[in-house]
Structures are given as structure tokens and as C-alpha cells.
Amino acid sequence: MQLRPILSSLTRHKLTAFLLILQVTFTCAIVCNVMFMIATRTSQMRLPSGIAENELAMIDSVDIDATENPLVRHEQDLVALRGIAGVKSAVVVDALPLNRDNWTNGITTVPDADTHVGASAYNGTPGELQTLGLHLIEGRDFQADEYIAEDVPHGYKGIDTVPVTIVTRALAEQLFPGQSALGKDIYASGTHPTRVVGVVDHMLRPALRDPATNEYAMLFPMKPDDSEVTYVMRTAPHDRERVLKEASAVLVRLNGNRILKSPQTFTQVRDSYFHRDQTMVGLLLVAGLGLLFVTALGIAGLANFWVQQRRRQIGVRRALGATRSDILRYFQTENFLIVSGGIVLGMALAFALNLTLMKFYELPRLPLYYLPIGALALWLLGQLAVLGPALRAAAVPPVVATRSV
């Protein structure tokens, strides 16, 4: 295939060729970044929470009567909830992964150190590990005599005396790199040591921020006594809706002096946490595909115009011995050259765009492998778009050369 006649023909259509190159440039830059944003968001939405997501149902309860002892109340409530048919176990907790109820503590490995690791605290009644379905990879669960009250009314004082904790693997590796965390002491509150007795493999924090710290969490054997707590029930997936209805009725019957909020399954918690990202991914997908489609239309439209404009030349070439596939390949190569020009410029622009997005939207750096993927997609798109007009060009009979158009 001779490139020179194609190039010299393109220089006679500088403006149109330039427009096409520019369109491919922008499409390439935007589509690369859009793909990357979709990948970033979906990978966050897919993070495993570490708990038995399909089997959990929960109800928030706000106590109104401050004079009552909340710990006694919760104990009675739990007995009643466990009595509901289909409920395998039930606990009271103060927070759950992705429920946005975040209590972050600065954790150190020596008392009163200057630098600390921020980790979310999860507190619950005995049986939390098993009810949530957390997977213990080292150590043991809490023992009955290790439980104390969280003591929220006095400024979360429980944390000043809590004896033991279970941490996530991510937090253990951050605090004690290269060694087992079991039996080591951590400090969540000044100088009081809390011993690590167990490690769970995964548990997301109530609110996510940075991929590196999303699993920095620990469990404490502290019974929640805030006026607002969450009742969590583990049950078979198909029982969840029914259990929620019965549980609401049971809780109101036991004590009407409270307000029940958001009875929901964990699936709903996850959906509502990521709803914003879900919408955004949908929008980005539509925008990305729309851009590719519009660009394909543009390429096809102009190719069509060029074919019509050059019918006579094509006829002459055919009359002089060029085969149909020569003509076909001519237009395909021409398209390949234009798209390649656009891709080269587009890659540079993609990086510039990514830098801007990093500055304003806390997006990570665009990985290099997005560029060949974007390039491949555009080459393919270009070839597809030009195929129709190129075939029509190849079908021009040599006899056209003898006619005046």
C-alpha cells in the first residue's frame, strides 16, 4: 500500500482532515478518562464488606425515656427478637459497615505517641462476630467477662478501660507490619492498653474514603448504650422482609417509648451507600458510549462525502487497473492515518485531563494501560465507521471514468 498518494490527497483536504483528527483527539482523551472513572467507582462499589450481606436485617431505635437503663432494655429486646421464627441470632450494635455511623479513633502502638492510625470502632453485644458473619482468621472471639458498657452518656468512657479488641487484617498489618498482632497492645485512648485477641480478614468502615484505609477497623467488647442503637438480626435471605415487619411490631410492643427508624436489609444499606456512584457510573457509561457513537457518525458522514466527491477519480483508478480491494484499502488506510493522528494527540490530552481531574476531584493517576485500550477502541471504531462508505467506493464501476459527473 502506497501511503504517499493518500497523504498528498489529505493535504488537499486539510481543514476536513484536521477537524476529524481534532474530534478523535477529544474523544480519545475523554473516553480514556471516563473509562477510568467508571473503573474506579465500580471497584469501590464491589468492595466486600466482610459481613454476611445477604442474611442481615436491621432496625434503628431511638430511645426517648432517658431514665431507663438501656443495657437492660436491649437485653430484653434481644430475647424477644431471637424468639421470632427464622431469626438465627440477634445483637445490638452502634455501627455497621457502610451505614455512615463512623466513630474514628486514633490508634497507636505505644502510649501517647504523636502519630496515630485512624480506625473505626465497632461496638456490640456478645455474639456480634457470629451474627455479622465476620471471618476470624487468628485468635478468638470476646469472652463474656470482657464486656463492659460503652458509656456514651459520659463521653464514651468505655474506651478508657476496654481490655481487649479484635482488629481487621488491614489494621493489624499497618500497626504491626511483618508480625502477628495477637497478644500485642494498642492504645485507643491515651495510656490505656487494649490487647489484640483476634484478627478478622475483612471488615469495611462505616464510611469509605481512601482505598488504603477502607478496612482500618476494630471491634470492642463494649455494649452500646447511646440513645440510638441498631438491632441486627441474622436470618435466611428470603425471611428478611418478614422478620423486619415482625421485629418492628415486637420492639414497639415491648416499649412504645421509642422511635423506630429505617428497618432495612443490609442489601439496602449497601445500595443506598453506593447509590450516588451507581448513578454516576450510569451517566458516565451513557456519556462515553454517546461520544463514541457521535464520533462514529462524524467519521462515516465525512467518509461518505469524500467518496461521493471522488467518484470520478475512483472510476479512473479502476479503469487504470486498480482492484476493488485496492480502493477499499485506500479508504481504510486513509481512516487509519487520520485516527492515528487523533490518538497520538488524544493520549497527550488524556493525561492533561487526568491531571486536572486529579487536582479537582481526588481521582488517582490514569494507569498507562488505558491508553492502548482507548487507542484500540478508536481504531476499531474508525474502521467500522468507514467500512460502509469504503465498500460503496469499491463498488464504483470503472465506466464512471468515461462519464462526466
Q: Which residues contact other proteins (rule: CB under 8 A)?
A: 15-16, 19-20, 22-23, 26-27, 30, 34, 62, 64, 153-157, 209, 259, 261, 272, 275-276, 279-280, 283-284, 287, 290-291, 294-295, 297-298, 301-302, 304-305, 308-309, 360-362, 404-405
Smallest gap from Cβ 32 to other proteins, in A, equals 12
Smallest gap from Cβ 361 to other proteins, in A, equals 6
Which run of H or E residues covers position 173? helix 169-175
Our separate counts of H helices and E strands in the chain read 10, 13
Q: How many CA atoms lie within 13 A of 145 on its CB side?
A: 0
Smallest gap from Cβ 61 to other proteins, in A, equals 12
Smallest gap from Cβ 236 to other proteins, in A, equals 28
Smallest gap from Cβ 232 to other proteins, in A, equals 21
Smallest gap from Cβ 302 to other proteins, in A, equals 5
Distance CA 167, CA 139 (A): 10
- Comparing CB distances to other proteins, the nearer of 33 and 168 is 33
- Comparing CB distances to other proteins, the nearer of 38 and 175 is 38
C-alpha cell at 75: 437485653
- Comparing CB distances to other proteins, the nearer of 227 and 333 is 227
Cα distances from 285 to residues 241, 250, 292, 367, 373, in angstroms, run 33, 45, 11, 19, 16
Distance CA 286, CA 292 (A): 10
Question: CA dihedral in degrees (278, 280, 283, 287; nearest 10)?
Answer: -130
- DSSP secondary structure, 277-335, as one string: HHHHHHHHHHHHHHHHHHHHHHHHHHHHHHHHHTHHHHHHHHHTT--HHHHHHHHHHHH
- Comparing CB distances to other proteins, the nearer of 19 and 344 is 19
- Comparing CB distances to other proteins, the nearer of 51 and 107 is 107
Phi and psi at residue 158, in whole multiples of 5°?
Answer: -55, -35
- Comparing CB distances to other proteins, the nearer of 90 and 152 is 152
- Comparing CB distances to other proteins, the nearer of 280 and 345 is 280
Phi and psi at residue 45, in whole multiples of 5°?
Answer: -65, -25
Smallest gap from Cβ 263 to other proteins, in A, equals 14
